[in-house]
Amino acid sequence: MKLSSLLITVTYCVFFCCSTPSLADDSGRSKIGFDIKGFKANLQTDIGWLVGGRWAGYFGTSQVYMGLATYFGAPTGLNIQQEKMYYGGLIFGVDKKVSKWGAFEANLLLGYGEGELKRFGINERSHYVVEPGLGFGASLGGGWRLTFAASYLHMANATHISGPTFGFRFALRSGSSSKAAND
């Protein structure tokens, strides 16, 4: 993977990170989370694992948010020297409480990604990534939420590193009141 590609990705992320906080209302409602995902590109490969994080600010008083997300890991479960994959970008989503303890979430990530599988001789890069996802979460109290999520990662021109993901996310919502944080 080229250093210039990594530099471009980091530059975009810094630009959007600096502009995203202005979207939140005066209370600065936002959420930050840590994800662990399983990834299965096709039937011939083992399950790989990805880790990553996300940060988002809410639009006004709504449950609609926009932010950044980034992920990296080993797409077929081998060590990082034999294979690697990373992607990230802007994330748009909405979350909605469905009960006192449960919440539904839908989101869409648009960004850039790359991957390399040395044992197969594959080095693929995608100039755009699309990842729609759904999740169902349980409130843990104090603004913390555990969400079980599934998505489909599509990297254009990179069929060996595109596929379904599944996993969980620990997220902390912040707000100006305890009710907003515990939603």
| 42-93 residue pLDDT tens | 777 788 899 999 999 999 888 999 999 999 998 887 777 888 889 999 999 9
For residue 111, give both structure tokens: 């960004």
Q: SS3 of 28, please?
A: coil
For residues 106 and 150, what is the distance between their CA atoms, to the nearest angstrom? 10
Domain span at 96: 3-182
Q: Is the pLDDT of residue 182 over 60?
A: no
How many domains in the chain?
1
CATH number at residue 165: 2.40.160.20
Give the chain's radius of gyration (CA, Å): 17
Model-wide pTM > 0.85: no
What does the DSSP 8-state code read for residue 60? B
For residues 60 and 92, what is the distance between their CA atoms, to the nearest angstrom? 14
| 101-160 residue pLDDT tens | 899 999 999 999 888 877 767 777 777 899 999 999 999 988 899 999 999 999 888 777
**Residue linked to tokens 């755009």:** 128
What confidence tier does 178 reach under pLDDT thresholds 50, 70, 90?
A: very low
